[in-house]
Amino acid sequence: MAYLNENYLKLKAGYLFPEIGRRVAAFTSAHPEAASRLIRCGIGDVTEALPAAARDAMHAAIDELGDRTTFKGYGPEQGYDFLRVAIAENMFQARGLDVAADEIFVSDGSKCDTGNILDIFGQGNRLGIPDPVYPVYVDTNVMAGNTGDADSTGAYEGIHYLPCTEANGFMPDVPSSEEAPLDLIYLCSPNNPTGAAATREKLQAWVDYARQHGAVILFDAAYEAFITDPAIPKSIYEIPGARECAIEFRSFSKHGGFTGVRCAFTVVPKTLLGSTRDGRKMPLHPLWSRRMTTKFNGASYIVQKGAAALFSEAGKSEVNALIAHYLGNAAVLREAAQDAGLTSFGGVNAPYIWVKTPNNLGSWEFFDVMLHKLNVVVTPGAGFGAAGEGFFRISAFNSRANVIEVGRRLREEL
């Protein structure tokens, strides 16, 4: 008999997007006339074409592989130097940040990296996870056996939820000194789903907390490219002391429209230490390097060439245009939400607008109003955690025409 990993049985089986799909399908089959009017502002996926600089580089890379004199087989598991150096120079060193190319590990996605990182941490860490947040952090800890069962509200035993509320600007505050210290802390800034971005002061408080307690911060900066406010840090390494306590995840998915191409990276500073049970402090960098060389054979050469091209002059201006497009959409949506009398947050340093449901409706109740009355699909906040109840997320990943039409419906049809 092969025994299965019973931790998977604790998971609340992928409730959010399947349930949205079920409700949309039920609505369109009951109202086929409304199907063509339906606009999806639900899923956090990019919509605009891949930058030409990346396409050209990938075409050229394919041609290299088509000639045996320039053919390439397996590459370095940590990523090709041309990409690691381009990332270190353009995203960190050019901004005065101390991150070296060999501290960068290229992968096929931040979703995988944020889950796989648990391979290098032991059992029994006290986990701090924001609520609401990208569901991957909770679910991968459940799968790894780091939690107990979920209670009736969906909260897992063994996770210390860090509420993101209007009062704290939707970015968690460090726990009070009476609470047992956290060991592993997830932060996502700019945040999915709330669109909030952490201030320097807040990140400094977390870095100080982590250093005081020997904790590690897992910092997901997937939406870093959307930060417009120069006072908001794009990297945790802008905070003094972060090299001693933080791992940063970045992705080309939202940055360069690479959700379908697949390329991301993780920064593990060589100065970051973890602790053995008997109290010896050891660097985490060799563990992640070993994890990548053992369980991963590197991201595709073609894809890495495409990602590196995003740092060319042409690539940078195309990335800027993509980001400007989505942030322009976000501005249209924010204004429309305001005109419709809704209270909204985010959408300035992030492609998500976080909107309070009117009249104290539940997230799913308002989802149904948006679907049935406006024929617009949004994402119920409760799907990202209990503290998301009473909110919904509108994604700015769309065409401008769709976004303008959603804005019109919010003003005229709500």
- In the complex, the residues that contact ligand PLP under the rule CB under 6 A are 44, 109-111, 134, 188, 192, 220, 222, 251, 253-254, 259, 264
Nearer to ligand PLP, 219 or 311 (CB): 219
Q: Which residues pair with 334 in a beta bridge?
A: none
Nearer to ligand PLP, 391 or 410 (CB): 391
Nearer to ligand PLP, 187 or 340 (CB): 187
Helices assigned H by DSSP within 340-391: 363-369
Residue with tokens 């209670």: 151
Do the Cβ atoms of 194 and 132 come closer than 8 Å? yes
Nearer to ligand PLP, 141 or 251 (CB): 251
In the complex, least distance from residue 136 CB atom to ligand PLP, rounded to whole angstroms: 7
Instruction: Identify the H or E element spanning 408.
Output: helix 400-413
In the complex, least distance from residue 80 CB atom to ligand PLP, rounded to whole angstroms: 18
Residue with tokens 């992968």: 107
In the complex, least distance from residue 79 CB atom to ligand PLP, rounded to whole angstroms: 14
Do the Cβ atoms of 222 and 254 come closer than 8 Å? yes
Nearer to ligand PLP, 191 or 375 (CB): 191
Which among 351, 356, 332 is positioned nearest to 408, based on CA atoms? 332
Q: How far apart are CA 39 and CA 370, in angstroms?
A: 10
**Chain residue whose CB lies nearest ligand PLP:** 109
Nearer to ligand PLP, 126 or 254 (CB): 254
In the complex, least distance from residue 44 CB atom to ligand PLP, rounded to whole angstroms: 5
CB neighbours of residue 144 within 10 Å = 15
User: Cis peptide leading into 132, omega within 30 of 0?
Assistant: yes
Q: How far apart are CA 235 and CA 196, in angstroms?
A: 15
The SS3 of residue 384 is helix
Nearer to ligand PLP, 220 or 248 (CB): 220
In the complex, least distance from residue 115 CB atom to ligand PLP, rounded to whole angstroms: 9
Residues contacting 259, CB < 8 A, separation 6+? 45, 46, 253
327: left (phi over 0), alpha (psi -120 to 50) or beta: alpha
In the complex, least distance from residue 248 CB atom to ligand PLP, rounded to whole angstroms: 12
Nearer to ligand PLP, 188 or 403 (CB): 188
In the complex, least distance from residue 292 CB atom to ligand PLP, rounded to whole angstroms: 15
CB neighbours of residue 179 within 10 Å = 11
Q: How far apart are CA 253 and CA 3, in angstroms?
A: 36
Hey, which bits of 221-278 come out as E strands?
Answer: 246-251, 264-267, 273-275
In the complex, least distance from residue 250 CB atom to ligand PLP, rounded to whole angstroms: 8
